[in-house]
Structure 1
Amino acid sequence: MQLVVARIGRAHGIKGEVTVEVRTDEPELRLAPGAVLATDPAGTGPLTIATGRVHSGRLLLRFEGVGDRTAAEALRNTLLIAEIDPEELPEGEDEYYDHQLIDLDVVTEDGTEVGRITEISHLPTQDLFIVERPDGTEVMIPFVEEIVTGIDLEEQRAVIAPPPGLIDDRAEIASSRDDAGDDPKDLSGDDAEGTPGDGS
């Protein structure tokens, strides 16, 4: 099974180093010197990592055969892809590879359908589930234990306890405000919750 582990960014310096946007929870394993990675587009690879280091909070890689800034810049926006065993599991408890989470059904703790995980976004501060809802819109759900309360790979579902406003439809919120009438206390209460992460 193939797993996208990084995207190459801009060239750094004049000796062929590039910045990379990490898309794996295990960069020390997937992006270590000696790792051979397929690429998308395929014509630029495979690429073998020669060196890696962290500079100003960013991971810098240099690949074998890429020795100057021009060659490094030509790799910009290339996806780096690792080949992994589908049966392989992360070492840590309650850790998952992206391919294990993609396509899981997302439901609330009371069984309400939210949607299906289509992508995992790895941000510097946290990971996000990109969830496609039944109406085709998307919502972003932080992958933190306070919100994602359970992952059941056998049942192929993720259970969440979303805070108010995270997955509410704007239409539903508007309807609830209409139902509240002209009471300014009700309206201010709704506004205070906001709609962070609303993907509609």
Structure 2
Amino acid sequence: MTKDECFYLGKIVSKYSFKGELLIKLDTDEPETYLTTESILVELNQKLIPFFIEESSLHKSSLLRVRIEDIANEEDADELVGLSVFLPIKELPELAEDQFYYHEIIGFTAFDKNSGKIGSISGVNDSTPQALFEIKHPSGKEILIPVNDSFIEKIDKLNQEFYFQTPEGLIEMYLD
């Protein structure tokens, strides 16, 4: 399985006990969703390695405390601390019609209430303090729109269309 077929779940931040238990800082608003996860994929040497979970529980609400099969002591656990954890995309929970995962809107046609068709969503940059929709305009220029609920007017998943209502001048700023 490749990273393209997976989503980032979180990072192993520390050991929990001398028995090899680990704490995973989850990148989610609903950590309880992952309490029944049977296995995780850990990125080790640029490869995703499957690990099977024997037991898990929430720790301080946003950390998943796990006991992993064949990790029975601190030394084994030390090798995993600091590594990223992934799950297959098919394990993402279903969302309401007006919600979306970043990966699923790539390629959607983007429209703005004032500017009409503005291009195609080529990505979402979430490495900045404010996540940004990256939109490729037909002219080849890139338009960046903050990921902000007040700028999203409608999502039409069936027709792969995304409708924005951006502040006046935002789109024009990129096209002048």
Q: Which residue of 1 aligns with 2:9?
A: 6
Matched residue count: 164
Gaps of 5+ in 1: 173-200
How many percent of aligned residue pairs carry the same amino acid?
A: 15
Q: Is the 8 A contact 1:3 1:82 kept in 2?
A: yes
1:62 aligned residue (66, 74, 78): 66
2:32 aligned residue (28, 34, 38): 28
Q: Is the 8 A contact 2:124 2:132 kept in 1?
A: yes
| Alpha-carbon spacing, 1:106–1:71, altered in 2? closer, same or farther (3 Å) | farther
Q: Is the 8 A contact 2:155 2:161 kept in 1?
A: yes
Q: Identify which of structures 1 and 2 has the higher relative contact order when contacts are C-alpha pairs closer than 8 Å and 6+ apart.
A: 2
1: CA distance between counterparts of 2:84 and 2:119?
33
Whose Rg is larger? 1
Compute the TM-score of the two structures, normalised by the length of structure 1.
0.59
Q: Displacement, 1:156?
A: 1.2
Counterpart of 1:36, as a letter, is: S
1: CA distance between counterparts of 2:168 and 2:136?
17
Q: Is the 8 A contact 1:90 1:96 kept in 2?
A: no
Q: Displacement, 1:34?
A: 3.8
Q: Displacement, 1:20?
A: 2.2
| Alpha-carbon spacing, 1:69–1:154, altered in 2? closer, same or farther (3 Å) | same
Q: Displacement, 1:104?
A: 1.7
Compute the TM-score of the two structures, normalised by the length of structure 2.
0.65
Gaps of 5+ in 2: none
Q: Which residue of 1 aligns with 2:50?
A: 46
